Structure 1
Amino acid sequence: MPKLFIVFFSVFFCSIVINQPILVKKTNIHGKVVGIMDGDTFKLLLSDSTTVKIRLANIDCPEKKQPFSTKAKQFVSNAIFNKNVTVQVLKKDRYRRLIANVFYGDSINLNHQLVENGLAWHYVKYSKDTILQSLEDKAKKDKLGLWQDPNSISPWQWRANKKEASRIKKLNKAKAK
């Protein structure tokens, strides 16, 4: 029994120390949206006057400076800013954001709406959601939003390209010295 306790404590302690994702029990919370960071992240004011960051699950909106980033953010703002929403929390990520499905109005799924309107990618690295995939496939077929560009770059690829360009720039600076 003591060995089991030590293993449990070690895993728990390491998850806190190295800031790894911490699973939370799937639960619904309610609050008022008080800030829109970008197309897939916003701030929620809870009834106890605390705010939490919410990151939409299973999707990825364009990054700032990418085409359709502003449109995705505006869509989210029009849909939920200053409104009460229901947040179905799935887990916490390493940045301590709550990863969630978000519902507004008459139980409209915001995550689905963004993909359906061509304002987000289905983030297949983290999701096997067949509904999101079919919504993305239809948006592509209909050339909605970001799918108007046949060479649109996913946010995860855009971030990787940016990181690589930064790495090369640092290497070239070091060589020039």
Structure 2
Amino acid sequence: MKKIALIFLFLILGSFFDDSNSIQKEIINGKVVAITDGDTFKLLKKDSTLIKVRVANIDCPERKQPFSKRAKQFTSDAIFNRSVQVEVLKKDRYGRFIANVYYDDKKNLSKELVKAGFAWHFVKYSTDISLQVIEDKARRNKRGLWQDPNAIAPWEWRSNKKNNKKQ
């Protein structure tokens, strides 16, 4: 029991001294000019350059998957043709900026999509445990895609499509 307590203490203390917490994240302000799908959009920066942004920590239904159009519409209603603040976490292999997206007095788009039931918490790429709490509540309340008791996560949908093509 003492070992577990010590390990826990070291983990907590380590987070206070972790240099990665002090890294300055890039903040980009711009106007949303196109919605690709529920979790991806194009942003026109103040210097007139166009970038593609992928909303961090979540995954919305894929095209042709149930609730895909509703997720895209939710994102469009929330941010299309509006100014947003993008907190860049990294770039992905496709050159998209993976980012936290803030709009309307600091609303977090990831959390709003999950709360409405139009996105999964993408646990594989996320350390934001608050998103899981929000998803669990949306599931219990059968919001959005959680009305379907057999909802298929987008990463499983993509994997199934890829496996079907191989056969």
Q: Distance in 2 between matches of 1:117 and 1:32?
A: 23
Which 4+ stretches in 1 moved above 3 angstroms?
none
Please list, as runs of the form range in 1=range in 2, the aligned pairs for 1:1-177 lying within 5 A after superposition: 26-168=25-167
Provide the aligned C-alpha RMSD in A: 1.0
The amino acid across from 1:45 in the alignment is L
Describe the SS at the equivalent of 1:53. strand
Describe the SS at the equivalent of 1:165. helix
Q: Distance in 1 between matches of 2:104 and 2:57?
A: 21
For residues 32-77 of structure 1, the C-alpha deviation after alignment (integer angstroms, 9 at most, x for no partner) is 0000000000000001111000000010000000111000000000
Describe the SS at the equivalent of 2:142. coil
Matched-pair contact (CA < 8 Å) for 1:44–1:51: yes
Q: Give 5+ residue unaligned stretches, structure 2.
A: 1-22
Q: Give 5+ residue unaligned stretches, structure 1.
A: 1-23, 169-177
Q: CA deviation at 1:128?
A: 2.4
Q: Distance in 2 between matches of 1:80 and 1:131?
A: 22
Larger Rg: 1
Q: Distance in 2 between matches of 1:146 and 1:54?
A: 23
Matched-pair contact (CA < 8 Å) for 1:25–1:91: no
Question: Alignment length, in residue pairs?
Answer: 145
Q: Compute the TM-score of the two structures, normalised by the length of structure 2.
A: 0.85
